[in-house]
Amino acid sequence: MATTAENRVASDAKVLQSYLGGKWQAGTGEGTSLINPTTGDIVASASSKGLDLSTALSYSRNVGGRELRKLTYAQRAELLGKIADTLAARRDEWFEIARKNSGNTKADAAIDVDGSIGTLKYFAKIGAKLGDTRMLRDGSPSRLARDPNFQGLHLGVPLDGVAVHINAFNFPAWGLWEKAAVSLLAGVPVFSKPATSTAWLAQEMVSAVLEADILPPGALSVLCGSPNDLLDHLQLGDVVAFTGSADTGEGIRRHPRIRKQNIRVNIEADSLNAALLGPDVQPDSMDFGLFAREVVREMTSKTGQKCTAIRRVLVPDYHEQAAIDALSAQLKMTVVGDPANALVTMGPVVNMAQRKSIGEGIAQLNTRADVAYEPDNFAPLDADTEHGAFVAPTLLRAREKGNDDVIHEVEVFGPVATVVSYRDKHDAFALARRGGGSLAASVFSGDTNFLTEAGAALGTSHGRVLLVDPSIRESHTGHGIVLPSCMHGGPGRAGGGEELGGLHGLWFYHQRVAMQGAGPTLTALNERAADPHE
């Protein structure tokens, strides 16, 4: 492993191998170092240099795909349940890896680890309802001509390729299993490429599932290290699901092989999500305080490193200072430091490069916004800023809404948000839409008419809209929590993708086919397929 004066090698540092072609394989060379962002120590390394990815993909298609498609949806759903149980049995181990390699507090690790286990259990449950079938149907046979015997039917046939899943650094567990759960249920083998900087957790989870001998050979592969020429070997029937930056997503879409073969791609990318405080909510009300609590939770949870985190806080101009005061009061209670200390509520960002990026992003925002809150004499608990990738939670206030494009264009992927005031509801909706397409928006109000207007106005530019009134103030799951039953994705700069959404997500891994033929033939096909809407 390559080391520097700043990065010591931990005594128990791991060398991460890849599981390809039905066996563990090590790349050549020193590889990329994985860092403990709290201490700066090297905890692992990963190299994919020299690995034969073409052969590995062929094995996934020809062995994994064939074996998975022999099983029914119900049988594959049963496998998901076994994976969930296997992972749940080693939950504490996953939490410890998340602390060491991602700087996660216990609460942060729970979002990732428990979220992945819960998603697997959810798809195991709803997948069982599809029964002993191997195709999906969309509607019933319908007459196509004067002859009533000539009919048509739309079916979904599982793809015969491999699902390449390229995941971001912030959710090494959930990113792996939320995609894999749907793909495996559909009958399409998984070839996972976790972000190298936090690949340790993903690799260990895959290893645990392989050791348990749950899945057919070739159904699950993991590549640790650089993707190298991975995309060069894709072909018709393969799919790519990517989570990460918009620039990388665009590079995937424009890859020559993907364009030539018209490979199906799903992108989840950058997102300037917003929280909107309704004009009716008063500063002395409970809902005002809960709004501030939710914003701060999203700023500091996972150290703001969530694709759904709140980046813009939209408040009525007559409540701007009250909102800043409430947010600042909440932020002052944030304890930043070593997540091994139970008092710490926010750990470091993933590495020094990310810390530098956040600093540069704040500088960009400062051209149009002023600092409204940052802690005095910032000093992480049981840690230091020389070795640890710590960032102070920072709240900004936009200066001039008419000249603040940067606030609606620059996403700072850390514990940073900007307060933007609005004049009226139309101004508020317009500001929210200036994000250019987002994963999520939250609206807090006791006015049902305002909430319904907001839902309709923001629906065209957001993948999910959370409308919070007093009746669900304590029961809603939160702005940033992605539920497997609801669609995850967003238009525009958010990537234009759609993941999860219950059984809706299965269609990404199926070819929708218009079957035409005689009534008895279509009826027979219809009986062999399951309706995911039932």
Nearest 10 degrees: CA dihedral of 64, 69, 72, 74?
Answer: 40
Q: Report the alpha-carbon distance of residue 251 to residue 265 in Å, rounded.
A: 12
Q: Which long-range contacts (CB under 8 A, 24 or more apart) does 278-281 make?
A: 278/443, 278/444, 278/445, 278/446, 278/447, 278/450, 278/451, 278/454, 279/316, 279/424, 279/425, 279/428, 279/445, 279/450, 280/445, 280/446, 280/447, 280/450, 281/319, 281/444, 281/445, 281/446
Q: How far apart are CA 485 and CA 476, in angstroms?
A: 14
* DSSP alpha helix (H) spans, 66-220: 66-69, 73-88, 91-102, 106-128, 174-186, 199-211
Token pair of 91 as six digits:
């939950």
- Tell me how far the alpha carbon of residue 507 is from its chain's centroid: 19
Distance CA 13, CA 265 (A): 35
Residues 6+ positions from 250 with CB-CB distance below 8 Å: none
Tokens matching residue 470: 């007093």
Cα–Cα dist 141/135, whole Å = 15
**Strands lying side by side in the sheet with 369-373:** 369-373, 394-398, 416-422, 310-316, 273-277, 438-444, 462-468
Residue with tokens 């929280």: 275
Question: Backbone phi, then psi, for 468, in 5-degree steps?
Answer: -105, 115
Helix (H, G, I), strand (E, B) or coil at 234: coil
Mind telling me the catalytic residues?
Answer: 268, 307
Tell me how far apart the alpha carbons of residues 68 and 302 are, in angstroms, rounded to a whole number: 35
> Please, are residues 320 and 362 in contact by the beta-carbon 8 Å criterion?
no
3-state class of 270 per DSSP?
A: coil
- Tell me how far CA of residue 72 lies from CA of 69, 127, 128, 328, 479, in angstroms: 7, 10, 9, 54, 36
| Run of H or E residues at 421 | strand 416-422
In the block, tokens 């994705």 appear at: 489
**CA 504 remoteness from chain centre:** 17
**Gap between the Cα atoms of 150 and 340, Å rounded:** 68
